[in-house]
Amino acid sequence: METYLKDYLTMLRVERNLAVNSLDAYSRDLKRYLTYLHDETGIKTMQRIRPKHIRGFIRCLNDAHLAPASVSRVFSAIRSYHNFLTSEKLVLDNPAQLLEAPRLPRKLPEVLTVEEVDTIIAAIDRDHPMSLRDLAIIECLYSAGLRVTELCDLKLTSLLFETEMVRIIGKGSKERFVPLGAPALKMLNEYLKYLRPGLSRKGKNTGYLFLSRNGRQLTRMAVWNILKRWSGAAGITKQISPHTLRHSFATHLLEGGADLRAVQEMLGHADISTTQIYTHLDKAYLKEVHRTFHPRW
C-alpha cells in the first residue's frame, strides 16, 4: 500500500519546520495507524479508508489504556495526514474530515510551591562533583520557564549576561528572549568558571552549555534524573518532572500579578489559550487559600 508517509514527513520538516522530536512522534503514531489498517482491516489502498476504520483504531488505543492526551495526539496526527493527502490530490476523500477529536479531561498541571523549589535547591549537596551544574540547571529551568529540550539545546552563545537574558530557540525554531534572575545568573557564572571547562575537555560538545560527565551535550533523560535525585533528597513526594518547574514558573508569575501576554511571550506559546490554563490554576490556588483561611469553611 502506497501511503505517501515519507512525502508527508518531508512536508512537516521543510514547510512547517517541526522539531526532530515532533517529527519522530508523527512518524511513530502514523506507522502504528498504518500497521493497524494493514493487519486488522486488510486495507490495501489509502482510497479504501473510511471513518469507521479510524474510529476502530482509536478504540484500539483506548482498549490498550493509552493516556487520553496520547490518544488525542494520535488522532490529530491522523487528521493532519489525511488533510495532506486530499490537499495534494493523492486521494479523493478525507475520512477524518467529519470526525470529532477525542475529548480530553481538563487537568491542571502539577506545580511546586515557592518553598518547595527553595527546598530542592537547598537539598543539592555542594560536595557532589556535579553540584554546580545541577544547581545551574534547576535555577535555569525555574528562572526562565524552559522546556527540557530547550535547556539541553542551549549554547554558550545563548547566554546574554550583559542584558541578563537567555536566547531560546523553541518549537518551530522560534526565537525568544527571557530574563534570568540573579540566583540563576550567579550559579551559571560559577558553573562556567569552575566546572564546565574541565567537562568540555573530556568530549566533543560543539559549544553546548550543559554537559555530561563525559563532556557531551546533556540529554533530556539526564535532566529528568538530576531533578529526580535532588527532589527526592529534598523529600518532595509530588510526581514532578522538568516541565513541573516550567508550570511553577508560569503559575508563580501570575500569582504575583504578571500580565498574561508577558507570560505567554516568556513561555513561547503561539496561542494565548495555551497560557490561559495557568489562570485556571491561579483560581484554584485562590480557592485553596480561601478554604484554608476563611472562618466560614
Check 82, 133, 147, 252 and give the catalytic one: 147
Q: Is 246 a catalytic residue?
A: yes
Check 171, 216, 228, 229 and give the catalytic one: 171
Give the C-alpha separation, 152 to 146, whole Å: 10
Q: Which residue has the cell 493497524?
A: 36
Q: Is 13 a catalytic residue?
A: no
Please report which residue ranges of the chain form alpha helices under DSSP H.
5-14, 20-36, 51-63, 68-87, 114-123, 131-144, 148-152, 182-194, 196-200, 220-233, 242-255, 260-267, 272-275, 277-293
Q: Is 278 a catalytic residue?
A: yes
Q: Is 269 a catalytic residue?
A: yes
Check 8, 26, 191, 278 and give the catalytic one: 278
Q: Is 228 a catalytic residue?
A: no
Check: CB of residue 236 under 8 Å from CB of residue 122: no
Check 133, 196, 246, 247 and give the catalytic one: 246
Q: Is 216 a catalytic residue?
A: no
Give the C-alpha separation, 117 to 104, whole Å: 29
Angstrom CA distances, 192 to 26, 158, 169, 253, 289, stand at 37, 13, 21, 28, 41
Check 13, 73, 220, 243 and give the catalytic one: 243
Q: Which three cell numbers stand for residue 146?
A: 524552559
Which residues are identified as catalytic? 147, 171, 243, 246, 269, 278
